[in-house]
Structure 1
């Protein structure tokens, strides 16, 4: 009966609303009286609905108590099941949050002559990588004799030339910096192995000056304005690339440039070739032959050949028959100090490996340039996540044998793949039996970072006291030492004789 009364009341309210609408159209003098009646009926209807909800909740509560809380327990179990499913889905998504492949890159620039591919934000894959959310990785590829259009970035850039030969030109504002100098720009010829920093906001452009070889540049960007986000601002340009000048109103451009509309249309609508374009050999030669930096102070320290650091111009920090490691540390290259970054290049000989090692405070971002292989890493975070998921998000009442459990994180490596090894996570990298594995590495938080070897000469375990070894391993110290002294190599070793089946295809 109560429900029928509510339905009747709703119908009456609807009729009054229709009547009010009709009166409004006819401008009837009784309109105000009708509107007041509608308002009162609406308020009464809302009160009835609120009362109905309260009565329903009370009936459900009483029914649950009468069943001994069975419904409540069922609800709890359902909620627990949903939480477990969410954790399992999250764990599946984070099954290997440290490995990134082709599908994880987005194309920022794509022309017939080249491309710029940018790796997704690290935190998009997993919250475990939020420590490097301010960093992005990008890869530039450009055909021979091409020009990369001028731009500036709202991020700090460090570039590594992995293949090819380039010329980069940076523009500066001498008046702003109160420096007396004849030149407003400096150009540098770059070779394979060169590292160079482009400070945030500095306009620059590049050419691939080689007539035959492609240019391959790996970039690390430290975002500043918006964590994890960066933009390229193109000044010169037209429709492609679009110039940021065109964002201003026509009146502003006419006033600031003292140009008429015809001139502006001609200036900002003719370019349609994209940011990477073919250039004649004559123009490339002219750009590469401009005087390189020799004197002056810009933007910090000497703006000269010291602005470039070539990894291959000095002896490797570690080298043997199984591989070589070249490093540019903040103390070696002043340009890296302000961004707290180091750059390294590892050439792992085929059928060899580097590690196991870990870095005390640096998170390592590695980009595969050539070859194939795989990596393994010990991670406590994913193991902990899985354990919680198996218990439905509740802690087990059984005592645990250890406070930490580890999960092996691994993945196949090939050109273009990026993998991350967080600080203090032990890892190894293994080259296939078919080719050397060449890796470009950026190490974030490099100041004061220490590399700890876990095998071979100078490994950590050999530095423990005798008593500490015996207590930690529950073995006589001589037995522990006999095992950790078997390997007399240093950092690079012969690879495993047996490959895991899951990586078999990577080495065929």
Structure 2
């Protein structure tokens, strides 16, 4: 086989691409070329791991500069922080770095990881199981997922919006649809053996992946499988194609033949349910919010996790609100925007990139003293721009507002941790919490007459989602726009009179302006 050793003067990504090109030019059968490509991948990820292990201060400084403003925001993860665990022509698997590694403020998420799975059409994912409970949501594309237990096997059709739980150590395999378009699935993973660490186990494979059967001695395998050593070695030495394999159309159709198409309502312990097939719990002309909570769906109950899908339409805002108990991990699926959040912890101590050692112990002691001694409430605004693939965390009790850019909708999925009996409290919009308070409580709290407080908090016409423009009553906005149009027409008419001394021309302009005013009057 042709050597695939890469030069050291190139960027690792360029080395990987050139290495793959050399493999394609290599003469011989496809298995040899495939093995060459796998060797390229192995070298690439070794270089990536070596880079991550680097202790060079300058390199660490460059990595902090690369994430930009997120260095001051422990709740935001740029899409670049999703590290590839596997990548091939057929697709890739990316996993977000540990939450608590980013900041000690996220140590409540220590035993959770976020994974993004992507596969091209007609891609088969080898049977495997994971030592972790997994809740997945299909973001786009479709395919067939098969789950194998000790006593049965069940296959299900999976499409955009489907939510499903895969219990720990359940053997799973997947085949993507043959239609154009990539399959993309987001997974919240909760390890069951070692906190924040999970491993995949494969019954098939040679090196990448390696079959766990190969760990057992030949004597045990021969007696257990009642098969000769030669047959066993051939069986577990044949698969060298990697985790993802290109399947033929006939193979895909056969694997999809016995799948279940009907979506249950999620009240069973197995099978997907479609989140977008339900009625949104909040919606208006500015956005929609879908939710599957553990109180409704048995698949989510014992993990205490909710799954949400949020659309903030272009130029709109999801008004300030907070969750009473749930800590939510949010993935941006489509669109651009930003969020603003109030954090009491960062106001007490600026914290970048989770420090360790004596500094961490000192900070813990300071936090304990502040908790014991109390003190006045202070908050720091946390904000970040949002783009597809970015992730951010909303801690429980932290007020947040989310805004979509003017030219595109912002779509997000969220996994709520500790979501059982969580309540979402809105601080603005028609259904805000201030409106629930007694008149005397408002006057004492704001040191203003209650009517002045109500003039602000009862001024909203919409709940949950609003336009990002300055919030005024609809009638006032219409009147303002009409006045602006009339004034614009008057300025235009005046300009024409100045440019033309012809009286007839002036009269014509005046007539045209009158028509504009009548049209505006009919609109209002």
Name the TM-score, length of structure 2 as normaliser. 0.70
2:283 aligned residue: 319
Alignment of 1:363-374 (within 5 A): 363-374=327-338
Say which SS state the counterpart of residue 348 (structure 2) adopts: helix
Alpha-carbon distance change, 301 to 488 in structure 1, aligned in 2, over 3 angstroms: closer
User: Please, which moves more after superposition, 108-117 or 262-271?
Assistant: 262-271
Aligned length in residues: 385
Alignment of 1:277-356 (within 5 A): 277-292=245-260, 302=268, 307-356=271-320
2:414 corresponds to 1:441: yes
Q: Distance in 2 between matches of 1:467 and 1:267?
A: 79
Q: Distance in 1 between matches of 2:238 and 2:443?
A: 76
Large movers: runs of 4+ above 4 Å: 300-304, 392-395
Q: Distance in 2 between matches of 1:282 and 1:224?
A: 37
2:322 aligned residue: 358
2:88 corresponds to 1:111: yes
- Whether the aligned pair in 2 keeps the contact of 1:154 and 1:230 (CA below 8 Å) is yes
- Whether the aligned pair in 1 keeps the contact of 2:70 and 2:384 (CA below 8 Å) is no
Q: Distance in 2 between matches of 1:159 and 1:93?
A: 26
Alpha-carbon distance change, 288 to 251 in structure 1, aligned in 2, over 3 angstroms: same
2:72 to 89, 92, 95: 95
2:456 corresponds to 1:468: no
Instruction: Map Cα deviations across residues 10-68 of structure 1 (whole Å, 9 max, x no partner).
Output: xxxxxxxxxxxxxxxxxxxxxxxxxxxxxxxxxxxxxxxxxxxxxxxxxxxxxxxxxxx
2:403 aligned residue: 430
Q: Distance in 1 between matches of 2:303 and 2:374?
A: 42
> Offset of 1:317 from its aligned partner?
1.1
2:65 aligned residue: none
> Offset of 1:301 from its aligned partner?
7.5
Say which SS state the counterpart of residue 131 (structure 1) adopts: helix
2:340 to 341, 356, 376: 376
- Whether the aligned pair in 2 keeps the contact of 1:187 and 1:293 (CA below 8 Å) is no
Alignment of 1:43-122 (within 5 A): 95-122=72-99
Instruction: Map Cα deviations across residues 207-250 of structure 1 (whole Å, 9 max, x no partner).
Output: 11242121000000112211111111111222222111122233
Q: Distance in 1 between matches of 2:80 and 2:459?
A: 42
> Offset of 1:293 from its aligned partner?
9.0
Q: Distance in 2 between matches of 1:343 and 1:162?
A: 12
Alpha-carbon distance change, 477 to 402 in structure 1, aligned in 2, over 3 angstroms: farther
2:493 aligned residue: none
- Whether the aligned pair in 2 keeps the contact of 1:158 and 1:220 (CA below 8 Å) is yes
- Whether the aligned pair in 1 keeps the contact of 2:204 and 2:239 (CA below 8 Å) is no
2:102 corresponds to 1:125: yes
When Rg is computed on C-alpha atoms for both structures, the one with the higher figure is 1
User: Please, which moves more after superposition, 100-109 or 332-341?
Assistant: 100-109
2:452 corresponds to 1:488: no
2:238 aligned residue: 270
Q: Distance in 2 between matches of 1:140 and 1:402?
A: 45
Q: Distance in 1 between matches of 2:312 and 2:162?
A: 20
1:254 to 219, 222, 230: 222
- Whether the aligned pair in 2 keeps the contact of 1:293 and 1:303 (CA below 8 Å) is no
2:129 to 148, 152, 156: 152
1:201 aligned residue: 169
1:166 to 143, 148, 169: 143
1:189 aligned residue: 157
Say which SS state the counterpart of residue 124 (structure 1) adopts: helix
1:411 to 364, 375, 384: 384
Q: Unaligned stretches of 5+ in structure 2?
A: 1-68, 352-358, 368-372, 472-524
